[in-house]
Structure 1
Amino acid sequence: MLQYTIRRLLSIIPVMLVVSIIVFMIVHLTPGNPAYLILGEDSSAEAVQQLEEQLGLDQPIVVQFFDWVTNVFKGDLGESVYSSEPVLSIILDRIGPTFSVMLISMIFTLVIAIPIAIFVVWKRQTVLDPLFISASLLGASIPEFWFAMLLVLGLGVSIPIFPVAGYIPIAEGFLLWLHHLILPAFVLATVEIGLISRMLRDGMLEAVNQDYTKTARAKGIKESVVLMKHVFANALIPTTTVIGVTIAGLLGGTVIIETIFTIPGIGQLLIDSIHRRDYPVIQGVVLFIAVIYVVINLLVDLLYGLLDPRIRYD
């Protein structure tokens, strides 16, 4: 297990190198001079030249890339053109709101999706099963921005139950913090609830008629115990993969949700940086999101061995 973990950690290096190349090329190979785009049409040639030297844009593209990658491995993501603050500090300041939305959204997802899937499998020969399939497909197909606007109009404007904008740090009060996060978190959770519950339901249906479940029933074990102890446990392995991808996907989903609900997190930082053409911050945020994806995939792989003792990494 230790050797496997070390190998997986080492495999992150080439993955992140490829991601770094892609991020760098996307930002630096856009049409136009980045310094001119940042300063605007009325900027003087001297100001453009000065900014090019500041950003290292006067160097060959290969030199720029290796300088950037070298600084990244040192923990230096550069400085914001807009605020002159270190990019890493800006990202760390925005982590709290984003991770708060992700946490509440994931709690919503698991608390709703898992019981629904178990109940549908328990009542698998009733009308609940086709109704569940239709509802899960509908939930997974709803555009997040459209659903967010409906909730804002319904529960924020017409019936003002929840705030529709802003963020309160948890230090200022747990209930205020939670109150501001319920709507955006529920919007993010809606798509994931349909996906995870459908995956768990399919996995449980595959295991429900296996020989070991038939043996358990022949021993007189109650159906509810068979479902929870045998069927649910064995269906959890493929579902864990989906949950891991979901957690990483929530980080990408916050880009839209934070903009709609005016939450000062990583997503809104990315949108604001694109509008300002703050290239160092754009690079830093995209690289940060990629690192989160890679780390979560690693954790999911390691979690398999804990969920299923039969899995061994040689």
Structure 2
Amino acid sequence: MLQYTIRRFISVIPVMFIVSVIVFLLVHLTPGNPAYLILGEDSSQESIKQLEQQLGLDKPIVVQFFDWIKNILTGDLGQSIYSSEPVTQVIFDRFGPTFSLMLLSLIFILVISIPIAIFVVAMRKTILDPIFLTISLLGVSIPEFWFAILLVLAFGVTFPIFPVAGYAPIAEGVFSWLYYLILPAFVLAAVEVGLIARMLRDGMLESINQDYTRTVRAKGVRESTVLMKHVFANALIPTTTVVGTAVAGLLGGTVIIETLFTIPGIGQLLIDSIYRRDYPVIQGVVLIISAIYVLINLLVDLLYAFLDPRIRYD
């Protein structure tokens, strides 16, 4: 287990290097001059050249890339061109709202999808099963931004129950924190709920008529116990994979949702930095999101051994 974990961590290094190359090239090959955006339209060519030299933008792109990689290895993601603050500090300041949004979305996903899947399996011979399949397919197909706009119109305009913009940190009170995050978190979770519930339902249906479940029933065990203790437990492996991918995907979804609901998180920071051509911040945010995605997939793989004792990484 330890050797496997070490190998997986080592395999992350080339993946992150490739990601860093792609991110750097995409950011630096797009049109737009940060120095020009900072100084404004009335700035002279001399002042622009001077600021480019100060920011290191006058160096060849290869030199800029290896300077950036060298700084990353020391834990330095650079300095924001827009605010002159360290990129790590800028990202850390915005991480709280994003983490809160992801946490509440994950709670919604698990609390909604797992009971629905178990209930549908228990009622598998009724009309509820095809109805669930239709609704889950519809939920996966609906674009996040469109669903968000519908909820904003419904619960923010027509029936003004929830705020449609802003964020309250949990330090100001749990109620205020939830009040601002319920709507965006539900939007972020809605797409994943259908997928995870469908995956769990399929996994349970695959296990429900296996020989071991027939043996358990033959011993007189109640159907509810068979579903929860045997069928549900065996369906957790494929479902865990989907949940892990969904959690990592929530980071990408926050870019859209935070922009729509004006939440000052990492997603909103990324959009603002793109408009400002703030190269160091863009690179730092995308790199950290990629690293979190890779680490979540690694944790999911390691979690398999705890969910199923038969799995061993030797």
TM beyond 0.5: yes
Q: Could you tell me which residue of structure 2 aligns to residue 203 of structure 1?
A: 203
Residue identity opposite 2:140 in structure 1: A
Displacement of 1:29 after TM fit?
1.4
Q: Take 2:244 and 2:35, find their aligned partners in 1: how far apart are those partners?
A: 39
Question: Match of 2:235, SS?
Answer: helix
**How many residues are matched?**
314
Structure 1 gaps, min length 5: none
Q: Take 2:223 and 2:39, find their aligned partners in 1: how far apart are those partners?
A: 68
Q: Take 1:280 and 1:47, find their aligned partners in 2: how far apart are those partners?
A: 21
The answer to whether the aligner puts 1:310 opposite 2:310 as a matched pair is yes
> Percentage identity across aligned positions?
77
Do the aligned residues in 1 keep the contact of 2:34 with 2:276 (CA within 8 Å)?
Answer: no
1:139-182 deviation digits (Å, cap 9, x = unpaired): 11111111111111111122111111111110111111011100
Q: Take 1:51 and 1:243, find their aligned partners in 2: how far apart are those partners?
A: 46
1:230-283 deviation digits (Å, cap 9, x = unpaired): 111111001000000100111110111111111000000011111111111111
Superposed, which structure 2 residues align to 1:168-247 within 5 Å?
A: 168-247=168-247
Q: Take 1:242 and 1:39, find their aligned partners in 2: how far apart are those partners?
A: 47
The answer to whether the aligner puts 1:116 opposite 2:116 as a matched pair is yes
Do the aligned residues in 1 keep the contact of 2:37 with 2:276 (CA within 8 Å)?
Answer: no
TM-score w.r.t. structure 1 length? 0.97
Superposed, which structure 2 residues align to 1:226-305 within 5 Å?
A: 226-305=226-305
Structure 2 gaps, min length 5: none
Do the aligned residues in 2 keep the contact of 1:76 with 1:88 (CA within 8 Å)?
Answer: yes
Q: In angstroms, what is the RMSD of aligned CA positions?
A: 1.2
Q: Take 2:149 and 2:275, find their aligned partners in 1: how far apart are those partners?
A: 22
Q: Take 1:243 and 1:32, find their aligned partners in 2: how far apart are those partners?
A: 38
1:207-246 deviation digits (Å, cap 9, x = unpaired): 1111111111111111111111111111100100000010
Residue identity opposite 1:309 in structure 2: P
Q: Take 2:117 and 2:214, find their aligned partners in 1: how far apart are those partners?
A: 20
Residue identity opposite 1:86 in structure 2: P
Which has the higher mean CA deviation after the structures are superposed, 206-215 or 88-97? 206-215
Displacement of 1:56 after TM fit?
1.9
The answer to whether the aligner puts 1:76 opposite 2:76 as a matched pair is yes
Residue identity opposite 2:189 in structure 1: A
Residue identity opposite 1:250 in structure 2: L
Displacement of 1:186 after TM fit?
0.3
Q: Take 1:173 and 1:37, find their aligned partners in 2: how far apart are those partners?
A: 39
Q: Could you tell me which residue of structure 2 aligns to residue 25 of structure 1?
A: 25
Residue identity opposite 2:228 in structure 1: M
Q: Take 2:45 and 2:153, find their aligned partners in 1: how far apart are those partners?
A: 48
